[in-house]
Amino acid sequence: MTEASRFTENALSDWMKGEGPDSDIVISSRIRIARNMQAYPFPMLATNQQSKEVLEQVAQVVHNEDLETISRFSMVPLSELNELERRVLVEKHLISPALANESRNGAVILSDNESVSIMVNEEDHLRIQCLCPGFQIKEAWDLANQIDDIFETHLNYAFDEKHGYMTSCPTNVGTGIRASVMIHLPALVLTQQINRILSAITQVGLAVRGLYGEGSEALGNLFQISNQITLGQSEEEIIDNLYSVVRQIIEHERAARQKLIYETRAKILDRVSRSYGVLSYAAIMDSKEAAQRLSDVRLGIDLGFIKNVSPQVLNELLVMTQPGFLQQTAGEKLTPEERDIRRAQLIREKIAETG
C-alpha cells in the first residue's frame, strides 16, 4: 500500500467514527488557518524554484519532535496522486478543489486519523485544517492553534503589526482563520423556516455554503456555516460568535423536529420509510437523489423511527457515493450512468449490512 492510498481507500476518516456533542445535528466542526512565509511570494506568483523551497522548509517541520507529540504525520506530494485519488481527498474534505488542480509543488500533510490536514502551496503557503466530530469548534481551534504555534516556531511567517497575518486573499487578512461547522437541517427545510434562518445568519457576519464550500450546492440539507470576518476581531471573538449562532440554530432545528413529530408524524414517518425503502432496493440513483434520501433516513434515525442503521454508515455513504470514490473503488473511470448504478449498489449493500 502506498502512502497516498492509505488515505484514499477508506471513505470514513478515523476521526469521524467518534460521536461528538450534538452530533444528531452537527456533523463536524472545522478550523482552517491560512499562513504564508515572509521571504516568498504567494503561491500564485512564486516561481517553480520558490514553491519548491517552501515545500522543502515545510517538510522539515513535519518530522519535528514537537509535531510528533500531537500525531504521526505523512506528507503526500500532489504529484504522487492520480486524478481520482485527488478527487477522493476533495470528497473527504482533506484537500480543496484548488489544490487538487494544482500540480506545481503542491502537497498535503495528513495526521494518521485524518483529523488534521495541512495543504502546502495552495492559495497560501500553508492552510492548516483541523476537524472534530460534532459541535466541537473550540476544541478544533485549540488543536489548530497548537499546530500553528509549532510551525510558527520553525518558519518565518508573513505578519504585519497593524494588519495581522498576510494572506493571498484580502478577505483572510488578519487572523487568517476560518471557523465552520457542517450542520444537518432537514426539519428547518421541511417546515419552510430555512430561508428565514439563513437570512438571519448572513446578517450577523456569517456565510452559508454547501457541502463542498464556496459555490457548492446544499445537497442533502447539509450546510456549512462559517465566519466571513477575519480582520478586526480576535480568534476567540470569531469562534465565540460562530458558537453562539450555531447553538441557536441547533435549538431551532430541534424545535422544528418536535413540530414535525407532533403535527405531521404520519407524513414524516412515511417520507422517512419511503426513502429507506428506495435506498434499500433501488437499482440506479444519481448523487442528488442519494443525498436527499440519505438525509431523510438520517432524520428518521435521529427521530427514533429507524433503529437498525448507524449514523456513521450514512456519513460514510456521503463520501462513498461521490463520483471520485465510486470510480476509485471500481478501479476505472465510469460513465454517469455506470456511476448511478454503482452508487445504488453500494447503498444497498451498506444498508443490508446493518439491517
Asked whether residue 180 is marked as a ligand-binding residue, the answer is yes
For the chain, give the secondary structure using H, E and C. Answer: CCCCHHHHCCCCCHHHHCCCCCCCCEEEEEEEEEECECCCCCCCCCCHHHHHHHHHHHHHHHCCHHHHCCCCEEEEEHHHCCHHHHHHHHHCCCCCHHHHCCCCCCEEEEECCCCEEEEECCCCCEEEEEEEECCCHHHHHHHHHHHHHHHHHHCCECEECCCEECCCCHHHCECCEEEEEEEECHHHHHCCCHHHHHHHHHHCCEEEEECCECCCCCHHHEEEEEECCCCCCCHHHHHHHHHHHHHHHHHHHHHHHHHHHHHHHHHHHHHHHHHHHHHHHCCCCCHHHHHHHHHHHHHHHHCCCCCCCCHHHHHHHHHHCCHHHHHHHHCCCCCHHHHHHHHHHHHHHHHHHHC
Asked whether residue 30 is marked as a ligand-binding residue, the answer is yes
Asked whether residue 300 is marked as a ligand-binding residue, the answer is no
Asked whether residue 182 is marked as a ligand-binding residue, the answer is yes
Asked whether residue 342 is marked as a ligand-binding residue, the answer is no
Asked whether residue 293 is marked as a ligand-binding residue, the answer is no
Asked whether residue 287 is marked as a ligand-binding residue, the answer is no
Asked whether residue 257 is marked as a ligand-binding residue, the answer is no
Asked whether residue 83 is marked as a ligand-binding residue, the answer is no
Asked whether residue 104 is marked as a ligand-binding residue, the answer is no
Asked whether residue 102 is marked as a ligand-binding residue, the answer is no
Asked whether residue 284 is marked as a ligand-binding residue, the answer is no
Asked whether residue 28 is marked as a ligand-binding residue, the answer is yes
Asked whether residue 164 is marked as a ligand-binding residue, the answer is no
Q: Which residue ranges make up the annotated binding site for ATP?
A: 28-32, 93, 127, 178-182, 209-214
Q: Which residue ranges make up the annotated binding site?
A: 28-32, 93, 127, 178-182, 209-214
